[in-house]
Structures are given as C-alpha cells and as structure tokens.
Structure 1
Amino acid sequence: MTLTVRALRPDDPRDAEAVAAARRATVPYLVSTAEALRWEVAHAPAGQRLHRLLAERPDGTVAGCAEAGLVAGSSEPGHGFLHTSVPPAAAGRGVGSALVAAGEEYLAGLEVRRVHSWVADDDRAAGFAERRGYARSRQARFLGLELHSAALPELPEPLPAGVTLCPVAAFADDLRPLYEADTECAADEPGDVRVGRMPYEEWLRHNWQRPDWDRGLSSVALVDGRVAAYSVAQTDGVDRYWSGMTGTRRAFRGRGLARLAKLAALHRARAAGYLHAYTGNDATNAAMLAVNRRLGYAEVATEWRCVKQL
C-alpha cells in the first residue's frame, strides 16, 4: 500500500473525524470523539510536545493514525509515548510500520530514551511490537457493562453514617477538594513512570475543561463533608460511557466508598440514556478489579504496556 504519513491538520475537521473513527475502530471501548480530539490538540500541555500523525492513502482516506510526545509531568527525563491506531481492515499492509517509524523519528528528535506504548494482547499486535524492539511491561484489562440491560445494584438506603453522594457539578468552579483527592490517588496508581504533582490550574484545564468529561454524571462520596472517593465520567454524547478514574483517599479506604461513587455515576449515566459502559484497570489492581466485577463488569479485552529503549 502506498502511504503518505503527515501531521494532523488542526483546522481541518475531516482530519479529526478520521482520527476519531480510526481510534474507535481500533479500541472500541474508549470514548473517542472528534470534538475531544480537537480540544486535545489545542490544549495539550506545552511540555508534552504532542504530535499527531496520519497515514493517508493515495485517494485521501486515512488508513491509521498515531500520537507521540513526552510523558508530561514525569519526574524522570527521557520518557516518551507512541500510540498507534490501525483499524483491523487496514492491518498487515504496512500502515503500522510507517506510523511507528515516523513517530520514533519524532521522539528521537526530542531526545527520548524510553518509549511507552499500549499494544493489544493478541498475536498480531504483540508480535508487531516485539519485532520492533518493544518489550512487554504491564498488562491492563478492559471491562464492559451493558448499562441498558445490566442488573445494577441499588444504592443503599440509607447511606452509611456520615456519607453523602453528589455530582462533581455540585462543586461549581472550586474543585480543589477533588484535586487533592485525585493527586493523592494518582500517586498510588500502578505504572511504569513516576509523575510529579500537577499544579491545580493545569489539572483543572487538562481534565475538567475537556468537552467529554461530564460533571453532572461524575460522582463524589463525601464523609462528614470531606471528599473521600470519586468516579469520573467520560462520554461520547451518544451511547458510550467510560469511567475515567475512580479513587479513594488513603484515610477512607476499605469502606466501600469507591464502589458507592462509581455506582452512583453508573445510575446517572443510565438515566441519561447511555447504553454501554467501559472501564480499564491495571492487571495488578486487584481492589478496583473486584469493585468492577461486583458492579457487573466483565472482561472484554486485555492489552500490554510495552517499552522500547531508543
């Protein structure tokens, strides 16, 4: 296949639509919209040096895409990422090879030493990555729940003593209590790269100002008025709901509060008409995997975090 690899044109809506479609076809569990993609391009942290690539056929259609950049906020220099999306219909035709070569060339120019990528846990994708020098590091699992037909547990009546549930929208524009909780929980997330504390204004801009994060569906569990747990809702505005991050502050763990927050968010999402719910967990995160399975989620796919030394 004759291909041209080029940069995404931020002002061309056709590029954003094509990339979002490629991402949905490659990883259908994630929420991928053209609107959110345009927002990411316009608002990516400067230190991330985000670069989006398209593999274009001679007829102008897009066969696949990739994104590359620096791991923003990493406390260790030289870490970058490269994620490729090649729909199944275009696999095996050199699309991935062309995108990886272009992405690695870009990262080498940024003096990246270690490249991190997510790769589907199947023979074709894993073999493709290994032949190009990527070694498996961590496994993650996608879990799905058919919201329209799931037998969701009801929220307890009454709630445990001192516990209240509210949407993130109830915090208006002062999300500092949620910021403190998210910063603490993110520090405990399993991962390959240590990331430092993000300033509040940057956290607010690159999370809650996204067009696909829903403050009305996202849920917070308070204990005696303090943020104890939360669950973030990301949606495509049509039928798909993704649990972006669910966490509990250290002092409140072991009390079932993450489950309560996530359950409340799922009930709101179903009431809003969303049909399909997905989430993802590191394979070692036994606590959240157990929470999700109790809510009715079932594993739908797995993927590998792969790392290459440039």
Structure 2
Amino acid sequence: MALTVRAAAPRDAVPVAGLLRAAEPHLVVTPELLAWQATGKPAERFGMLVAEAGDGIAGVARTGLLHESAEPGLGFVNLVVRRERRGRGVGSALLAAAEERLAGLGVRRAYARVADEPAAVSFAERRGYRPGRRNLILRLDLTVALPAPPAAPPGVRLIAAADLPDPHPLYEADLDAAADEPGDVGMDEIDYADWRAAYWDRPDLDRRLTTVALVDDEVVAFSVALTDGGAAYLSGMTGTRREWRGRGLARLVKHASLRSARSAGHRQAFTVNDAGNDAMRAVNEWFGYQRVAAERRYLAELPRRPSSIA
C-alpha cells in the first residue's frame, strides 16, 4: 500500500488528535490544541507532518524549534505511528521528512520524546539518536480522597490563575522556577510576549484549576493545570521560586489544584516527572501518584540542508 508523507492540513486535526490520545493517554490533545499550535506559537515554528496510507493516517510527526533556550539551533521531532502500522516503514519515512524540515529551519540538534520501550528505543538508536534524561509518567486516582491539605505559611494566600489581574508575576515565577529544573534543554530565553503566546493563551490551560501562591503581589509558587474541557487533567508544571523553596509550597499549590480538579468532576490526573527530580518525586508520592509509563528524551545532530516541506 502506497505511503505519502505530507504537511498536515486542517482536516487532519480530528484523526491526528485521536491517534495521539490513543498512543499517549496521559496527554491533553484536542483538535483545537493542534490548530492553535500551528498558528498560535510563531516563535516555535510548529509544523506537523502526516503519513497517509490507503486506510487513512498511519502516523504523525510534530516538529518545531525549542525557542525557549538561549542556545541556537535546537529543535524537536516527536513521532507517533499507529500500532498496526508499526514496523512497515512509516516511522522511517516520517523521521526523514521531519529531519529535513528541521534542517531547513536551521536546527543542528534534534530532540525526540521516545517511549521507554524496547521497540521505540531500538528505532531511535538505530537512526543515530542517543539517550538523554528519563521521564516518569504518573497517574493519580482522583476518586480516592486526597491527603489532608498542608497548612499555608504565614503571609501566603492561594488564588486561581483566572483571578490574577495580570499574568506577568506568573511569568516571572515560571522563569525563576525553571532556571534549575532538571532537563535536557533550559528555559532561559523567552520574553513575556512569547511566554504569553506559548503558555498563557494556550487553549488547554485551565486557569480556574491552575493555582498560584501569592505573597503580597508576588507569585511564589504555582501549579499549572491542562485540561481538554472534559475528563483529561494533566499537571503542566509545578514550580516554586528558588528563595521560597523548602516551605511546602509545591504540595500546597498542587493540592489546591487537584482538589479543584476533583470538585470539577475529573477522575484521574496525570503528571510527567523527571526521573532525577527527587524533590518533585517525593511530592507526587505523597499524593499517591503511581507510575504507568516512562519515556526518554533522545537527541541527534542534524546536517544542514534546505527544506522542501513547509
């Protein structure tokens, strides 16, 4: 059966969202999110490629620039192939087209999220990708009662992000908390306008469930909630400003967000935890999160060449 790799079209949003959710149930993916990613984050230069066979879309590659890093020439390529089409050349065709697109954008090093499974790891390593950091995918059953909420330190109050009169203090806290967050790529080169476009304006950000801790008007900790407007709930990031760590604020804001999610009818919560981030792993274990999967960040050096795929 002939296979065609092409740039995704608007009509592909619904089947691609279904393919991604089937492969990675912990992710919050909707057709609206995919459409926004294609138009709402200009600095990322997001582009989605699909492999199409006679029976529909067989796989997808999401590509773009890691524009938050001060290091130039970094990009990403994340592949998903329909399970029944794996081992038949779909992934190889998509990866070749994705690398061509990235090279045309000036990317010299590509990062890929790879399921920590033998077949996926073997595919990546045979194509010259080498392993980076490992993430744990954790799930929490929200039908079970949460632990008792921790007490807020004196002077700290909690509000929903929706009640922030101005999100700039959250931007400042996000940059400060991410400065030493474990990861392969740092978040050290994103201005406020790009941050708003990439995070505050994203359609899956639930500002009612996202919780921030304030001292006066300064955001000192936060827990970001991503939802699909239905059952899916994913902790996007829980962070504390460095000078405020060690006071239990991560547990405090995440507890408030999870409690709000439970009240809103969510029955399970997912989070992605860097395997080397022991402090956050301890917080998630305290809540009762259980590991359901794992993934690695793989990276490869790319040759520079012009792109023929938009």
Asked if 2 retains the 8 angstrom alpha-carbon contact of 1:7 and 1:52, the reply is yes
Give ranges in structure 1 of 5+ residues lacking alignment. Answer: none
Q: Return the offset for 1:146.
A: 1.5
Which residue, 47, 68, 76 being the options, matches 2:71?
Answer: 76
Identify the residue that residue 305 of structure 2 maps to in structure 1. none
Tell me if 1:8 matches 2:8. yes
Identify the residue that residue 277 of structure 1 maps to in structure 2. 269
SS at match of 2:200: coil
Taking the aligned partners of 2:245 and 2:104, their CA distance within structure 1 comes to 43
Which residue, 184, 190, 215 being the options, matches 1:198?
Answer: 190
Which residue, 141, 145, 148 being the options, matches 1:146?
Answer: 141
Which residue, 101, 109, 117 being the options, matches 1:106?
Answer: 101
SS at match of 2:35: helix
Q: What are the residue-to-residue correspondences of 1:111-190 with 2, within 5 Å? A: 111-147=106-142, 149-156=143-150, 159-172=152-165, 174-190=166-182
Which residue, 38, 43, 52 being the options, matches 2:40?
Answer: 43
Asked if 1 retains the 8 angstrom alpha-carbon contact of 2:223 and 2:239, the reply is yes
Identify the residue that residue 290 of structure 2 maps to in structure 1. 298
Which residue, 248, 252, 255 being the options, matches 1:256?
Answer: 248
Taking the aligned partners of 2:66 and 2:80, their CA distance within structure 1 comes to 19
Greater shift in the superposed pair: 109-118 or 232-241 = 109-118
Kindly provide the amino acid, as one letter, of the partner of residue 59 in structure 2: G
Greater shift in the superposed pair: 159-168 or 234-243 = 159-168
Identify the residue that residue 234 of structure 1 maps to in structure 2. 226
Identify the residue that residue 18 of structure 2 maps to in structure 1. 21
Taking the aligned partners of 2:221 and 2:209, their CA distance within structure 1 comes to 15
Give ranges in structure 2 of 5+ residues lacking alignment. Answer: 303-310
Greater shift in the superposed pair: 263-272 or 163-172 = 163-172
Asked if 2 retains the 8 angstrom alpha-carbon contact of 1:25 and 1:88, the reply is no
Tell me if 1:95 matches 2:90. yes
SS at match of 1:251: helix
Q: Return the offset for 1:225.
A: 4.9
Taking the aligned partners of 2:3 and 2:72, their CA distance within structure 1 comes to 33
SS at match of 1:216: coil
Identity %: 53
Asked if 2 retains the 8 angstrom alpha-carbon contact of 1:151 and 1:296, the reply is no
Q: Return the offset for 1:105.
A: 1.4
Q: Deviations over 1:124-180 (max 9, x none)?
A: 000011111111111111110111x22311324x633222211111113x1111111
Q: Return the offset for 1:224.
A: 4.8
Asked if 2 retains the 8 angstrom alpha-carbon contact of 1:232 and 1:246, the reply is yes
Asked if 2 retains the 8 angstrom alpha-carbon contact of 1:3 and 1:55, the reply is yes
Taking the aligned partners of 1:278 and 1:6, their CA distance within structure 2 comes to 32
Q: Return the offset for 1:44.
A: 1.9
SS at match of 2:186: coil
Taking the aligned partners of 1:51 and 1:224, their CA distance within structure 2 comes to 41
Tell me if 1:287 matches 2:282. no
Tell me if 1:55 matches 2:51. yes
SS at match of 1:82: strand
Question: Do the aligned partners of residues 99 and 256 (structure 1) sit closer, same or farther apart at CA in structure 2, a change above 3 Å counting?
Answer: same
Kindly provide the amino acid, as one letter, of the partner of residue 138 in structure 2: L
Taking the aligned partners of 1:205 and 1:69, their CA distance within structure 2 comes to 15
SS at match of 2:63: strand
Asked if 2 retains the 8 angstrom alpha-carbon contact of 1:150 and 1:296, the reply is no
Taking the aligned partners of 2:68 and 2:219, their CA distance within structure 1 comes to 24
SS at match of 1:85: strand
Question: Do the aligned partners of residues 225 and 193 (structure 1) sit closer, same or farther apart at CA in structure 2, a change above 3 Å counting?
Answer: closer
Count of residues in correspondence between the two structures: 302
Structure-2-length-normalised TM-score: 0.93
Which residue, 186, 203, 210 being the options, matches 1:211?
Answer: 203
Identify the residue that residue 308 of structure 2 maps to in structure 1. none
